[in-house]
Structure 1
Amino acid sequence: MIRRISVVGLLFLAACGQGQQDPVLTSELTSPVDVTLHWRPETGSAGQVVEYANAADGEYTILEFAGPAKDTFRHPDLIPETRFYYRVRPFTGTASAAVDVVLPPGDDVPEIEGPDWTAPVKAGGGKTPVASPEAAASDLRAEVKHANGILFTWQDRASDEDGYLVEVRPAGAADYRVAVQLDPDTTSYGVITLPDEKTATYRVRAFRFGAPSNLTHQTTGKV
């Protein structure tokens, strides 16, 4: 009986060790110049940031802020015969209350006269850690500036954010997507909308990055 328990215990420990060693992120070359990534989303996160670089210790560029349920990303049409390194990082933070915006018809984006209302304004300095739901931005307001422009303002309540995200859900879409990433302490930003954002719902999120995953890399082929 003791020996049998020991064997089961060893098998259990081995399985646990294998689970801990399984990578969070994997990649595959799905064509000579296309890479597909797969990852395990972190429970409780607001999503995952997908990043790449051309050297393991290089400067990483954000490819996407993926939603919390998404677990794959395709990086297409890459430079042939080049190495690409990838990682994902969870991000956390509570989103603000949402606002609905309906823009008037028209495709024009007029030139700005006077102060640039699209420029981000940093006037924050909140006192609540992002980990607390109380750090969510408050008093989000949307001012329609023209047929394709919206000025957003809000109150910054977070003390340790890595930045702010403006998130948009166009009419008929199931999920939000990130429209823009902003610096910490930002309290105002003007968005020039995309064609599918004439009627949309917006929110902002103070966020913090989590620890990066393991690295994975692929070398593209010849075309």
Structure 2
Amino acid sequence: MPTSKDMTRLWAVALVLVVAVTAGCADTATTAPKVSLTATLVPPVDIKLAWRDRGPTPAGRIVEFANAAAGPYTILGFLPPGQMSYDHRDLIPQTAFYYRVVPYYGPTTAAITRTLPPGDYDDKTQAQDHIWAEPRTVRQPAVAPRSVQGGGAPTDLKATVMNANGIKLTWTDRASDESGYLVEVKPAGSADFRVVQVLEENINSCGVVILPNEKTATYRVRAFVYGPSSNTASQITLA
């Protein structure tokens, strides 16, 4: 069962994701889709998504769903660029499901690895996290527009150990037209980074409250923009 720490982190990330992706889709709604999405019902209550992408190779893709064509949409996950399918399983019977896939692009900082000291997460630590972990903007140098080719990469990433279960990240924002920033973490022994926070544009300081498997982990920050959303694909589950 998830701990209170797990639920706090997941709730915060999910809330930002819904707002960020909805805004991103609105920004790209007038651009022709390059991602062709299909949804296939696997009776009775599983749906398999598959897509083709005619655009440039993205940093990753966001898969989202809704129960009405107009939304609101909920994030299912951030997927690596090589993944071209997704299985949505054990769904509510006799219900309509609508899907979109949104590619995102942008460069990252150099990665940095930190090991935290032993110790458990407790209520006192959680109260302290609200002080230093809040996303914020620190004074910035002049910036230049970023591009999907790699301009505007954030630099000077620093990872400061705040306690046995918390890291504070700061970086230099060198983009002027980003949709926001993604904080990505790769626990020791893992093959890939995963997105753990989505931040608004111009943010360059935030905290990460780690999960138990992240005592030693590698961090990086990505300045990103959304690509055009795919078409909407839908299916209705059976009884």
What SS does structure 2 have at the residue aligned with 1:131? coil
Partner residue of 2:127? 112
Partner residue of 2:143? 126
CA deviations 1:32-89 (Å, max 9, x no partner) are: 3322211224442111111112221222222211111111222233222211110111
Distance 1:128 1:209 in 2: 15
Partner residue of 2:95? 82
Partner residue of 1:148? 165
Distance 2:37 2:159 in 1: 38
**Structure 2: gaps of 5 or more residues:** 1-33
Deviation (angstroms), 1:190: 0.6
Distance 1:162 1:23 in 2: 19
Whether 2:233 is the aligned partner of 1:221: answer: no
CA deviations 1:169-192 (Å, max 9, x no partner) are: 111111111111111111111111
Distance 2:90 2:195 in 1: 23
Name the count of aligned residue pairs.
202
Aligned equivalent of 1:29, options 41, 46, 49:
41
Alignment map for 1:62-101 (pairs within 5 Å): 62-101=75-114
Gap change, CA 1:31 and 1:189, over 3 Å in 2: farther
What SS does structure 2 have at the residue aligned with 1:105? coil
Partner residue of 1:5? none
**Equivalent residue letter for 1:116:** I
**Structure 1: gaps of 5 or more residues:** 1-21
CA contact (8 A) 1:102 1:198 kept: yes
TM-score by length of 1: 0.82
> Could you say what the CA RMSD is over the residues aligned between the two structures, in angstroms?
2.2
Greater helix proportion: 2
Distance 1:132 1:214 in 2: 25
CA contact (8 A) 2:46 2:89 kept: yes
Greater CA drift, 105-114 or 32-41: 105-114
TM-score by length of 2: 0.77
